[in-house]
Amino acid sequence: MSVREQLGTVVSTLEGPSPSTVSFVVNNGKAHKGMFAELEYSEGTMMLLVEDVLKTNRYFERPDSVKVMGEELERNFPASEWEFLIAKARPLGVFKDERILRTTFPPSPGIKVFVADNEKIKRFLGLEEEGLNLGKLQFHDVELKLNLSKLLQKHVFLGAMSGSGKSYLVSVLLEELLSRKKEQGAIAVVVMDTHGEYTCFGNPIKSDSSSKFTDFSSKTRIVDASKIKIACSKLSPYMVSSLIKDISPTQKRALANIFTKLSSEMRSGAGPFDLSAIKSEVELLDNEKTQSSLFAIISELEELGLFSKIDEPSIVDFVKPGQLVVIDLNDVISEKKKQFIVAYLSNKLFHERRGHSKKIPPFALFVEEAHNFIPEGTASEHAIARSYLRTIAREGRKFGASLVVISQRPKRLDTTTLANCNTHIILRITNPYDLDHVSQSCEGLDKSSQNIISSLRVGEALIVGEAVNAPTFFKVRQRKSAPSRHESTLEDAARAFVSDELKKEDEVNSFL
Ligand X SMILES: Nc1ncnc2c1ncn2[C@@H]1O[C@H](COP(=O)(O)OP(=O)(O)OP(=O)(O)O)[C@@H](O)[C@H]1O
Binding residues for ligand X, rule: CB under 6 A, are 160, 162-168, 408, 458-459, 476, 487
Q: Which residue's Cβ lies closest to Mg ion?
A: 167
| CB-nearer residue toward ligand X: 196 or 465 | 196
> Minimum CB separation from ligand X for residue 386, in Å?
20
Taking a C-beta distance cutoff of 8 angstroms, is the pair 28, 8 a contact? Answer: yes
Residue 255 interaction partner, one of ligand X, Mg ion, none, beta carbon < 5-8 Å per kind? none
| CB-nearer residue toward ligand X: 61 or 487 | 487
Cβ burial of 179 (10 Å; 0-12, 13-18, 19+) is middle
| CB-nearer residue toward ligand X: 49 or 452 | 452
Angle at 469 between CA 466 and CA 475, to 5 degrees: 90
Instruction: Please tell me the distance from the alpha carbon of residue 343 to that of residue 333, in angstroms, as a whole number.
Output: 16
> Minimum CB separation from ligand X for residue 459, in Å?
3
| 147 near Mg ion (CB under 5 A) | no
Residue 502's contacts (CB-CB under 8 Å, 6 or more residues apart) are none
Taking a C-beta distance cutoff of 8 angstroms, is the pair 86, 9 a contact? Answer: no
User: Which ranges of 133-218 does DSSP label H, i.e. alpha helix?
Assistant: 148-152, 166-178
| CB-nearer residue toward ligand X: 95 or 366 | 366
| CB-nearer residue toward ligand X: 254 or 367 | 367
Taking a C-beta distance cutoff of 8 angstroms, is the pair 263, 223 a contact? Answer: no
> Minimum CB separation from Mg ion for residue 489, in Å?
15
Taking a C-beta distance cutoff of 8 angstroms, is the pair 392, 358 a contact? Answer: no
| CB-nearer residue toward ligand X: 197 or 466 | 197
Residue 187's contacts (CB-CB under 8 Å, 6 or more residues apart) are 148, 152, 177, 180, 321, 322, 361, 362, 363, 364, 400, 402
Instruction: Please tell me the distance from the alpha carbon of residue 404 to that of residue 368, in angstroms, as a whole number.
Output: 8
| 372 near Mg ion (CB under 5 A) | no
> Minimum CB separation from Mg ion for residue 228, in Å?
22
Query: What binding mask, one character per residue, do residues 100-139 give for Mg ion by CB under 5 A, x or -?
Result: ----------------------------------------
Residue 481 interaction partner, one of Mg ion, ligand X, none, beta carbon < 5-8 Å per kind? none
Q: Which residues lie across from 41 on neighbouring strands?
A: 44
| 407 near Mg ion (CB under 5 A) | no
| 167 near Mg ion (CB under 5 A) | yes
Instruction: Please tell me the distance from the alpha carbon of residue 417 to that of residue 375, in angstroms, as a whole number.
Output: 9
Residue 476 interaction partner, one of ligand X, Mg ion, none, beta carbon < 5-8 Å per kind? ligand X
Taking a C-beta distance cutoff of 8 angstroms, is the pair 229, 314 a contact? Answer: no
> Minimum CB separation from Mg ion for residue 166, in Å?
5
| CB-nearer residue toward ligand X: 164 or 423 | 164
Residue 168 interaction partner, one of Mg ion, ligand X, none, beta carbon < 5-8 Å per kind? ligand X
